[in-house]
Amino acid sequence: MPAPITDRRLSQLYASYERAARPIGKEQALDILSYLGDSARWGQVKLADALKKPGLSAEQQIALARDGITANERRDLETILDKGSVPLEAGAREFLEQVLGRTPPPAAEGLSVTGDQKHGLSGVTKAGASIEAINISTAPGGRLHLDDTMVIGTADANGRFNQARLTGEQAPREGDLIRMRARYADGSTSDWVTVKASGIEARDTRNAVVALFRVGLADAGDGKISVSNINGSRQVSEPGAQLQFTNKRTGEKTVVTLNDEGSFPAGVSLNGRPGDAFSVAASDGVNNATFTESVGNVTVPGAPPGDVDLVPDPALHRDELDSSGKPRFNKVRFTGPLFVDGVAPGDAQQGQIGDCYFPAAISAIAQSNPSALTNMIKDNGDGTYTVTFKQRDWATGQPKDVPITVDGDLYARSYGGPLYGRSANSGDPKKMELWFPLVEKAYAQWKGSYDTIGDGGHVSDVFEDVLGTEASMMGIGTWNQDRVWTQLVANVDAKKAVGAGTYGDSENGRYTNSGVYANHAYSILGYEQADGERYVVLRNPWGESEPAGNGADDGVFKLKLADFTNLYQSLYFER
């Protein structure tokens, strides 16, 4: 469709360029200016001759063209540059941009953002590039890395993109920081560009979001408490945010400014001792600038335990030990209900440990056979619980019971919630549903430690250890889509537990902007068919983080079968 140009003769000229289907070069750009700059002094033909006079500099050509351009004609030129259907050669575009007094577009391998964000993000990059973005003001509330972007638009033939939008939990508000880059056809990317959202609301009213569960405190000796991000690859808050720590014992206040990665600078410390509690307040420089509103409290490990272990606990994962082998986290006794409204897939949420295969398997069993889980755990009435697993007796070929007894003590983050597996209300030891954290703790006890179970495993092994049945793993890449679908549907219909695993980290590029993660296990909760399309329903054991557009950020989402077979390497199921 021709660009909406108001000047009739210029519109006819531009239509001829559209019919020719060739990029506009410098010669054609001068013809465009001759139509725009014609006036009582300069007719179009006369101006065209003057603009093309040999030896005339670009500055002189620009001055000639500007002399007769009206406001309406400027808008016509903006239309050609911003909305035109005919691509412009780089030199021609730069020349016409200069006539308008606008900044020329960046080099082809870069990215620039123009205007405010009232109607979305606009800018210039290489023609055809995908525009990737993440709202790094909201990202700390989830498990997003700084490069967990979503595709929000595509640059046109002129390298321009308009009204590109982040949606859902990442929809920007005034003052939010948006991190963007362009991804080119060959897979390479531009440098990151960060912009502060503006023009959306009258003022910035959203304060910096703080991931309090990532704040780690440790006794550094000599009255100092070290402060760190226990999830170093993710944000504590937005870059430049200020966190004020107030020691509740001494009243001393310390303000820490986060670095460009939204994390703590190296060497940050507070004055304090083991057992000290600190209230934390945050400011983005606009909101809560006086730190009057707190986001919560954190406590330094090392206080004398209030209770003696009823049952010895499995050792921490090695990553949660300091250089001397001492635990960096306290234990908290959780006394909440064992079950709340029975067992559900969403009850199992992975914590600070690489055992995604375990909550993924447990969530799949909760979907297919919830009674197997309610029957495997018993409250002994004395603060202890017995979890019964199954182990195959190779002499008889039959499974035998393996009872493991644990108490309600769980290693806790500095804000008070469990370090490892958790359920809803995790910040309240008296309210959190206990069954999943206790099953995970018993599994660690049985296998040796949290370190033993915390470096990956197979969903199918957990199916066998919980259900006592044989389970299998198949390579999805070796089967066609119909065969994968048949296997998946047969197991779901038979109420068998099913899970899936993605490719390893070497295949990270496969997952760019997919909302699915490499080297990760997922539960399969079911399947759907609609409008001739087949879908697989999955759950991320994080209980959050999923492909864009899948509704609530609860980790549950559906994928077309073709996308599923492309993104997942393994299918796990009961035999």
Residue after which a domain boundary falls, among 467, 488, 513: 467
Answer yes or no: is 346 within a domain: yes
Q: Would you say the C-alpha torsion 432, 435, 436, 442 has a positive or negative sign?
A: positive
pLDDT above 90 covers a percentage of the chain that reads 56
Contact 464, 567 (CB under 8 A): no
Is residue 383 located within the same domain as residue 509?
no
- Confidence class of residue 90 from pLDDT cuts 50, 70 and 90? low
Please calculate the CA angle 155-159-164 and round it to the nearest 5 degrees. Answer: 35
Answer yes or no: is 313 within a domain: no
Beta bridge partners of 281: 244, 294
Contact 438, 311 (CB under 8 A): no
Give Cβ neighbours of residue 171 (< 8 Å, ≥ 6 apart): 135, 165
Collapsed DSSP state (helix, strand, coil) of residue 570: strand
Asked if the model's pLDDT at residue 3 lies above 60, the reply is: no
Please calculate the CA angle 304-308-313 and round it to the nearest 5 degrees. Answer: 100
Contact 567, 514 (CB under 8 A): yes
Residue 237: per-residue pLDDT: 97
- Dihedral of CA atoms 394, 398, 401, 402 in degrees, nearest 10, equals 20
Answer yes or no: is 374 within a domain: yes
Mean pLDDT over each residue of the chain, to the nearest integer? 88
Contact 132, 513 (CB under 8 A): yes
Residue 285, sorted as left (phi over 0), alpha (psi -120 to 50) or beta, turns out to be left
Answer yes or no: is 226 within a domain: yes
Asked if the model's pLDDT at residue 508 lies above 90, the reply is: no
Asked if the model's pLDDT at residue 240 lies above 90, the reply is: yes
Collapsed DSSP state (helix, strand, coil) of residue 314: coil
Q: Which has the higher per-residue pLDDT, 190 or 56?
A: 190
Answer yes or no: is 207 within a domain: no
Is residue 32 located within the same domain as residue 159?
no
State both tokens at 490: 């047969």
Answer yes or no: is 311 within a domain: no
Collapsed DSSP state (helix, strand, coil) of residue 208: coil
Closest CA to 35 of 54, 56, 19, 14: 14
Residue 168: per-residue pLDDT: 80
CA distance 356 to 359: 6
DSSP code string of 2-71: ----SSHHHHHHHHHHHHHT--B-HHHHHHHHHHHS--SS--HHHHHHHHT-TT--HHHHHHHHHHT--H
> In this predicted model, what pLDDT tens digit does every residue of 285-324 receive, in sequence order?
999 999 999 999 999 987 555 556 788 899 999 988 877 8
Query: Burial, 512: exposed, middle or buried (Cβ in 10 Å; 0-12, 13-18, 19+)?
Result: middle
Is residue 226 located within the same domain as residue 283?
yes
DSSP code string of 524-561: EEEEEEETTEEEEEEE-TTS----TTSSSSSSEEEEEH
Collapsed DSSP state (helix, strand, coil) of residue 158: coil
| In the block, residue with structure tokens 């911003």 | 82
For the whole model, what pTM was predicted? Answer: 0.76
Asked if the model's pLDDT at residue 134 lies above 90, the reply is: yes
Asked if the model's pLDDT at residue 37 lies above 80, the reply is: no
Contact 378, 385 (CB under 8 A): yes
Residue after which a domain boundary falls, among 146, 162, 196: 196
Q: Which has the higher per-residue pLDDT, 326 or 386?
A: 386
| In the block, residue with structure tokens 């990553």 | 319
Asked if the model's pLDDT at residue 52 lies above 90, the reply is: no
Is residue 294 located within the same domain as residue 232?
yes
Is residue 535 located within the same domain as residue 428?
no
User: Stretch 254-263: mean pLDDT, rounded?
Assistant: 95
How many domains are contained in the chain? Answer: 5
Give Cβ neighbours of residue 51 (< 8 Å, ≥ 6 apart): 30, 33, 34, 61, 64, 65
* CATH number of 135's domain: 2.60.40
Please calculate the CA angle 113-115-120 and round it to the nearest 5 degrees. Answer: 80
Is residue 160 located within the same domain as residue 249?
no
Answer yes or no: is 218 within a domain: yes
Query: Burial, 450: exposed, middle or buried (Cβ in 10 Å; 0-12, 13-18, 19+)?
Result: buried
Asked if the model's pLDDT at residue 165 lies above 80, the reply is: yes
Asked if the model's pLDDT at residue 40 lies above 60, the reply is: no
Contacts by residues 95-102 (CB-CB < 8 Å, ≥ 24 positions apart)? 95/26, 95/29, 95/58, 95/61, 95/62, 96/29, 96/32, 96/33, 98/58, 98/62, 99/33, 99/62, 99/65, 99/66, 99/69, 100/74
Residue 39: per-residue pLDDT: 62
Is residue 399 located within the same domain as residue 524?
no
pLDDT above 70 covers a percentage of the chain that reads 96
Residue 61: per-residue pLDDT: 81
- Rounded to 10°, the helix 44-51/58-67 angle is 160
Is residue 382 located within the same domain as residue 450?
yes
CA distance 195 to 407: 49
> In this predicted model, what pLDDT tens digit does every residue of 362-384 receive, in sequence order?
999 999 999 999 999 999 999 99
> In this predicted model, what pLDDT tens digit does every residue of 339-367 receive, in sequence order?
999 999 999 999 999 999 999 999 999 99
Contact 237, 140 (CB under 8 A): yes
CA distance 565 to 575: 21
Is residue 70 located within the same domain as residue 186?
no
Structural domain containing residue 134: 112-196
Q: What end-to-end distance do the CA atoms of the chain give, in Å?
A: 58
| In the block, residue with structure tokens 């606990």 | 313
* CATH number of 560's domain: 3.90.70.10
Collapsed DSSP state (helix, strand, coil) of residue 272: coil
> In this predicted model, what pLDDT tens digit does every residue of 170-204 receive, in sequence order?
899 999 999 999 999 888 889 899 999 988 999 99
Q: Which has the higher per-residue pLDDT, 101 or 238?
A: 238
Answer yes or no: is 307 within a domain: no
- Confidence class of residue 103 from pLDDT cuts 50, 70 and 90? low
> In this predicted model, what pLDDT tens digit does every residue of 434-477 receive, in sequence order?
999 999 999 999 999 999 999 989 999 999 999 999 999 989 98
Give Cβ neighbours of residue 530 (< 8 Å, ≥ 6 apart): none
Contact 230, 201 (CB under 8 A): no
Residue 212: per-residue pLDDT: 94
Is residue 497 located within the same domain as residue 543?
yes
Is residue 384 located within the same domain as residue 440?
yes
Residue after which a domain boundary falls, among 412, 435, 467: 467
- Confidence class of residue 87 from pLDDT cuts 50, 70 and 90? confident
Residue 1: per-residue pLDDT: 37
Residue 74: per-residue pLDDT: 83
Is residue 521 located within the same domain as residue 562?
yes
